[in-house]
Each structure stands twice: as C-alpha cells, then as structure tokens.
Amino acid sequence: MSQQAILLLGYLIGSVTFIVGLKMLSHPDSARKGNLVAAAGMVIAILVTIFLYRYDRTDANPEGLPLGNYGWIFGGLVIGTVVGTMIAKKVQMTAMPEMVSLFNGMGGACAMLISIVEYGHIQHSANPVAGTGILTVIVLGMIIGTVSFAGSMVAWGKLAGKVKDRTIPAGQAINFMIFGALIVLAVMVIGGFTTSPIVFYSILALAALYGVLFVMPIGGADMPVVISLLNSFTGVAAAFGGFLYDNPVMLTGGILVGSAGTILTILMCNAMNRSLKNVLIGSFGGGSTGSVAGDKEQGHYKEISLNDTAVLMAYAQKVMVIPGYGLAVAQAQHICHELEKVLNEKEVEVVYGIHPVAGRMPGHMNVLLAEADVPYEKLLEMEDANDQMSTTDVVIIIGANDVVNPAAKDDPSSPIYGMPILEVEKAQHVIVNKRSMKPGYAGIENDLFFRPKTSMLFGDAKKVLQDLVAELKQV
C-alpha cells in the first residue's frame, strides 16, 4: 500500500471516528467513550499527516516534500497536550463555560493564523497572483476565525467576571459599518483589485474589532446562545482550512462542529422563543437592574425554615429539583444527589427539571448532575417536567431564577416575555433557595418569589442542602 493510500485511510478513520464520537455524545452513558473515540481518531489523523503528508508537488517532483521540522511539531504537540491537560483537570465545573469559550477561541485563532500564513506564502511566491477560489478560502477563513477568536475572548472575560457588559452608543450602526467595510475589502482582495498586504491586514483588524463589539453588549441569559454560535464559527473556519490544505479529516471535523453548533444555536433560540436576530441585537440581560423586591404590588415574600422544609418534603409523594447556576457556584451537586437518596429511602419520588438554557452553557446542568452520578433517567427536559408539574407535591429551586420567572408568560413588557419556562406554580408547594433577593443573571426581578405558593429558603446552596439532609434524617 502506498504512502498516499495509507494517508487517505488514516483520514477516513479519523473522519469516521469524529462522526461516531459525536453520535455517542448524545447520551451521558456513552459520552465519555465518544470523546475517547474521537480523540483516538484525531491522534491517527495527526500522525499520518506528520509522517505521510507531502506538499509542493510538481511535475519535476511528483512525490512532493515531507513536512520536516519534527522538533518544532512535536514540541508544540507536547506543550499543547500538557497545558491543555493541566487546565482541564484543574478547572471547576462552575468555570467550565469560560474554559469552553477559551478553547473555542483558540480554535478560531488557529484558523486565523492559517490564513495569515498562507497569504504570506502567496505574497512571497514567484507569482503572487493566486486563484479566486484560494483567496476566497483564505479571506473568509481569516474573517470568521478572527471574529470567533475575538468574540470568544470577550465571552470568556464576561463569564469569568473580568469583562462587564458594555452597550456602545450607536453600537448597531457601528457594527453594520464595520461589516460593510469587511465585505468591500474582502471583495477587493478576492477579486484581485489589490495585492497590498495593508488591505489584507486591515481586514484582520476590522474582523477582530467586529468580534469584540459583536459580543460586548450581549449578556445575561443569552450567553449560552453566543457560546454555541461562536463554536459554530470556529467549525466553519476550520472547514475552510480543510479546503485550503485539501485535508478531508479537517474538513469533516469543521463541518461537524459548524453544523452541530448551528443546530444547537437554533434549538436554544427556540427554547427561549427568540430569534437569533433578537439575541444578537437585543442585549437581553445585558445590565438591566430589574425592580426592587419590596416594591412589588403583590406583597412581600415569605420565608420557610429548614425544619418545615424537611417535613414538607419527607411527607411528599413527588419532589422535583430545579437546578440553576447557584447550585454550580456552591458545588452542591453531590449533596443534592445525597438529598435525593435520603428522600428515596422515605419512598419519595425525586426528579430533576432541566431548562435548556439553565446555567452558563448548553447542557451545563446535565453535566453537573452527571458528575454527581444522578441517573440520567431522572433528568426531565422542560416539556416533560411541565407535564409532571401538576402531580408534584414540592418543587425546590436551587439557584435558578430566570428559567422559572412567570413574567415570561404574564408580563408583555418583560424582556423575557415569550420565553418558555418551567411552570413551577402548577406544583403544590414551591421552595426557592437563593442567597438573597437579588435578580438573576438576566437582571430581571422574579415575581415568583412573591406568589402565595412560594416560600424562600435563604443561604448558600451547599450549606442549606447539607442542613436539610440532616433534618430529613431526623424526620
């Protein structure tokens, strides 16, 4: 078998493992194995590329040239592997969204650098005039990769609390102007109207500025959608790299990431009953302060003690847990599972209601609870949870806010009006665990806290659940 045949076989294996691994990610029981399968395929693709790929094929030298520079290549692989492993092992589950944004940004940066390097090769070649197709791939790959990189860095800063939401005056008009300038300059380069590097690097600078301004005003509950959208951008940029190098496995991986990210973005927009346009220009949750708790016409909230909560849950037939970011911050997923087991011993059925945009990234709550070995069968999607709400005796909301806010149904003036929510008021009793009465991540006051069925259980989620488990064991 020739080297070229082995190379193509390695790419085929890599592409197949990507598809199989992505399919296995659809269920928690197989997700870990799916990651390993896809990773193994990536290792195979990398190794066959390093040792078997040939470039600069000519009529005089049809075999082409090997990559060479193995010291640099393996040095980069070792450093990247060590750094990536250390970061992944040390990151807390609460910091997972910003880590995803950071790694996604690195993928966009790689696509950007590929375009820069290849454009430099064209500029320094004997014939600096390249075909329209090659220039299209280079320019679009750089624009999309740069926007993804810059936007992901801003998203990382926001999620890590290092960057605040900023609404720039006439921001939308500025973004449209930058976008228009990008189109004009890209047409100039792709159409061969100019070969000036200044124009090319002006595109790079404008794309980076657009990525920053594009994400800067977006905040609150829209951040999971933005992360998913930027992830799809990175996939598309990687696919352009696959076209550029005629690399099937890179093309396949980019298409899978791009399409999966796009589908997930659409699904999350549907889950919030919002269009992608509204997400991108609406700045939902981007700094609204909400109303003051004590000023609501419906009256004041009422508190409930740990003992009363324990008695109420111990004598219930069904309890539904609604997890939110507050549970993640408190690292309370394990004690939450302990609460579930104590209630099961008392013959109380326990299920979990999961909203699609709960937490700071898609699937955040699912991953968090899977880490605590909560059975996947007990995690109910929003529609199923709402169907079972009327037969639920007690709903306990742990650190969630916007996903249970009745303003989404009752208040047309609310920014979240129309967003599907977990309809917790259909249950017999609603208990809300929060640190305080401050608004949630979207910055909007929650009328649920003042409703007759609702009782507030204040305190850190982990400490409250630990005390609640101790109380339950005494009941």
Topology given in CATH for the domain delimited by 293-474: Rossmann fold (3.40.50)
Mean pLDDT throughout 362-388? 87
Contacting residues for 470 by C-beta, under 8 A, at least 6 apart: none
Is pLDDT above 50 for 294? no
Cβ count near 24 (within 10 Å): 18
* 3-class secondary-structure state, position 198: helix
pTM higher than 0.75, yes or no?
Answer: yes
- Decide: residue 292, CB within 10 A, 0-12 exposed, 13-18 middle, 19+ buried: exposed
The verdict on whether 460 is a catalytic residue reads no
Q: pLDDT tens digits, residue range 232-282?
A: 999 999 999 998 888 899 999 999 999 999 998 888 787 766 677 766 665
Q: The tokens 């949750």 sit on which residue?
A: 285
At 442 the pLDDT is 57
* Catalytic residue selected from 165, 222, 402, 447: 402
For residues 76-83, give the mean pLDDT: 94
Residue 7 CA to residue 50 CA, distance in Å, equals 10
Is the predicted pLDDT of residue 134 greater than 70, yes or no?
A: yes
Q: Are 314 and 356 in contact, with CB atoms under 8 Å apart? A: no
Q: Which of 411, 421, 413 is CA-nearest to residue 447?
A: 411
DSSP 317: S
The Cα angle at residue 304 between residues 300 and 306, in degrees rounded to 5: 160
Please give the mean pLDDT across all residues of the chain: 86
pLDDT band (50, 70, 90) for residue 295: very low
Least confident of 134-143, 323-332, 380-389: 323-332
Q: For position 288, what pLDDT does the model report?
A: 42
Where are the chain's structural domains?
Answer: 94-287, 293-474
* Whole-number pLDDT of residue 319: 96
DSSP code for 395: E
Can you tell me whether residue 183 is helix, strand or coil?
helix
Asked if residue 87 has pLDDT above 70, the reply is yes
